[in-house]
Amino acid sequence: MNIMKFGGTSVGSAERIKDVVRLTFSYPGRKMAVLSAMSGTTNNLLEISDYLTKRNTDAANDKINLLEKKYKQLADKLFFSEDIRNRSYSLLREHFTYIRSFTQDLFTVNEMKCVVAQGELLSTALFELYCRESGFNAVLLPALNFMRIDREQEPDQFYIKENLNREMDKYPEASFFITQGFICRNAFGEIDNLKRGGSDYTASLVGVALNASSIQIWTDIDGFHDNDPRFVENTHAIAELSFDEAAELAYFGAKILHPSTILPAKVAGIPVIIKNTLNPAAAGSTITDKASGKGIKAIAAKDGITAIRVKSGRMLLAYGFMRKVFEIFEIYKTPIDMITTSEISVSLTIDDTSRLSRIIADLKHYGTVETDNEQTIISAVGEGISDDSEAARLVFTALAGIPVRMISYGGSRHNISILIPSSFKSRALNALSSILFNH
């Protein structure tokens, strides 16, 4: 069994959907396609939800009408038989009538999740219809029948495995399955989701539940690149990465893969392969438990970082001080990216500032608090670089003249991370490429 996840750009138009259907059926053996919503749809549904939250039903209806028109135009281009096209119209009418129903009631976070889920439900329904019209046998398995998160918002992997296999056992002769990424139910049975980018996570969880031979993430780029091609010219795809290297890159800003995707696959020992839907012949990047050589392989950048410094000459060396600081972040469920300490201060970074004011208020019980916004974490990633003094020398040589706010070196064998003002991001990425990769 191969799991093939296709992102929003891969199913973003009638032609793309046709290409993906042909691509999936060109692969031998049993397989499952995990689909995201069509590109732009989730943002549109979130905008509709925002209007509904504010009780601006006229604006919400205008946006719903525009989105429905877009989908009808797609259906006209996608289907060639009158019967299937009429079925698609009926399907679209059903989904958009459901979305409009929320203009009549009080709109809460739970209703918003129901609305946002329509993106994946629409893409998979249209995809299955096109498979049927094209003469391909495909079985649509609703993710809401088997994907579930627990009370801590973590995947219930036992539930997922039991219920997914039960669903598939209903179709013993089938060789191709379709399901939705991103959406799930929560511990109370309500529609929920795995947060933004969660279709990658769905693919990984499904792959583990089915003991898949590979988890393929199909996107619009030829795998992990050695730097961000949006800021640096002449970057190159990396053929092989270890799970640890890929996890560091995904967490510290490489947008190609959702950070949560790696762990389930790593634990199960299932290779993750990044492929390009627009260039299927490209080798892509293969991620396994084996590293292919040492040294720096890639640079990643994570934006939207806030640095927090707590200065307390009286408390810092006191027993239990660090525990008290970390407990504040635990109380507000806010992860920390980097941390450094000195004799009189502790500095750390976060990327979730939704509870920042309350965090700062609590930290002020223990010292003076300063914050720096609009920071970027630049990470150099590669096997064993914490033991490679030459790698560190090259990184710091490249960043000469760039103001450095924090350095994390030695905390991971695979990563050197440096915090800089975001205004220096492009300069830093290009300087590192020039020194490390001769770009």
Whether residue 230 is contained in a domain is answered as no
Same domain, 318 and 197: no
* pLDDT, tens digit (0-9, with 9 covering 90-100), for 132-155: 999 999 999 999 999 999 998 899
Interhelix angle 82-100/57-78, rounded to 10 degrees, is 170
Considering the entire predicted model, what is its pTM? 0.90
Q: What is the pLDDT of residue 439?
A: 66
Region 416-427 average pLDDT: 96
Rounded mean pLDDT of 262-271? 94
Please give the biggest Cα pair distance in the chain: 78
- Answer for the pair 35, 120: CB distance below 8 angstroms, yes or no: yes
CATH number for the domain that contains residue 200: 3.40.1160.10
Predicted confidence (pLDDT) per residue in 159-190, tens digit = 999 999 999 999 999 999 999 999 999 999 99
Report CA Rg, the chain: 24
Q: How confident is the model at residue 321 (pLDDT cuts 50, 70, 90)?
A: confident
Residue written as token pair 């190609």 = 256
Q: In the chain, what percentage of residues exceed pLDDT 90? A: 82
Range with the poorest average pLDDT among 1-5, 367-371, 385-389:
385-389
Among the three residues 153, 187, 220, which one is the final residue of a domain in this structure? 220
Q: What does the mean pLDDT of the chain come to? A: 93
pLDDT for 1-11, tens place per residue?
A: 999 999 999 99
Residue 220: pLDDT band by 50, 70, 90 thresholds? confident
| Final residue before a domain boundary, out of 220, 237, 263 | 220
Burial of 313 (0-12, 13-18, 19+ CB in 10 A): exposed
* Residue 54 and residue 173 share a domain: yes
pLDDT in tens, 277-312: 999 999 999 999 988 878 899 999 999 999 999 998
pLDDT tens digit sequence for 323-351: 889 999 999 999 999 999 887 889 999 99
List the one residue out of 92, 115, 127, 130 whose CA is nearest residue 11: 127
Is residue 287 situated within a structural domain? no
Is 268 domain-assigned? Answer: no
Do 203 and 348 reside in the same domain of the chain? no
d(CA 278, CA 9): 10
Asked if the structure places residue 269 within a domain, the reply is no
Of the given ranges (7-11, 43-47, 192-196), which has the lowest mean pLDDT?
Answer: 192-196
pLDDT of residue 161: 97
pLDDT at 215 over 90: yes
Q: Which residues pair with 148 in a beta bridge?
A: 185
**335 and 199 share a domain?**
no
Same-domain check for residues 37 and 186: yes
Q: Which residue's entry shows tokens 């009638």?
A: 14
Average pLDDT of the segment spanning 252-261: 82
Does 390 have pLDDT greater than 70? yes
- 231 in a domain, yes or no? no
Residue 315: per-residue pLDDT: 63
Split at pLDDT 50, 70, 90, the class of 412 is confident
Q: Is residue 278 part of a domain?
A: no
CA distance 309 to 405: 11
Does residue 208 share a domain with residue 89?
yes
Give the model's confidence band at 438: pLDDT under 50 very low, under 70 low, under 90 confident, else very high.
confident
Between CA 42 and CA 196 the distance in angstroms is 9
Whole-number pLDDT of residue 364: 94
Q: Are residues 17 and 115 in the same domain?
A: yes
- How far the first Cα of the chain sits from its last, in Å, is 39
- 70-108 confidence digits (pLDDT tens): 999 999 999 999 999 999 999 999 999 999 999 987 899
Asked if 305 and 185 sit in the same domain, the reply is no
Same domain, 212 and 303: no
Strands 285-288 and 240-242: parallel
* Helix 57-78 × helix 14-26 angle, to 10°: 50
Q: What is the edge-to-edge ordering of all strands in the sheet holding 240-242?
A: 139-140, 176-180, 31-35, 2-6, 214-219, 272-276, 285-288, 240-242
- 384, pLDDT greater than 90: no
Can you tell me whether residue 261 is helix, strand or coil?
helix
User: To the nearest whole percent, how much of the chain has pLDDT over 70?
Assistant: 98
Helix (H, G, I), strand (E, B) or coil at 2: strand
Residues 6+ apart with CB under 8 A from 188: none
Q: Give a yes or no: residue 280 inside a domain.
A: no
Same domain, 54 and 195: yes
Domain count, the chain: 2
Judgement on whether residues 210 and 112 belong to the same structural domain of the protein: yes
CATH code for the domain of 329: 3.30.2130.10
189 and 326 both lie in a single domain: no
> Taking residues 392-397, what's their average pLDDT?
92
Domain that holds residue 105: 2-220
d(CA 92, CA 68): 7
Residue 382 counted as domain residue: yes
- Asked if residue 425 has pLDDT above 80, the reply is yes
Q: Which of 176, 200, 220 is the last residue of a domain?
A: 220
What is the rounded CA–CA span in Å between residue 179 and residue 33? 6
Residue 178's beta-bridge partner residues?
33, 140
Q: Determine the average pLDDT of the residues in 48-52.
A: 96
pLDDT of 344 reads 80
DSSP-assigned states of every residue in 3-52:
EEEE-TTTTSSHHHHHHHHHHHHHS-S-EEEEEPPPTTHHHHHHHHHHHH
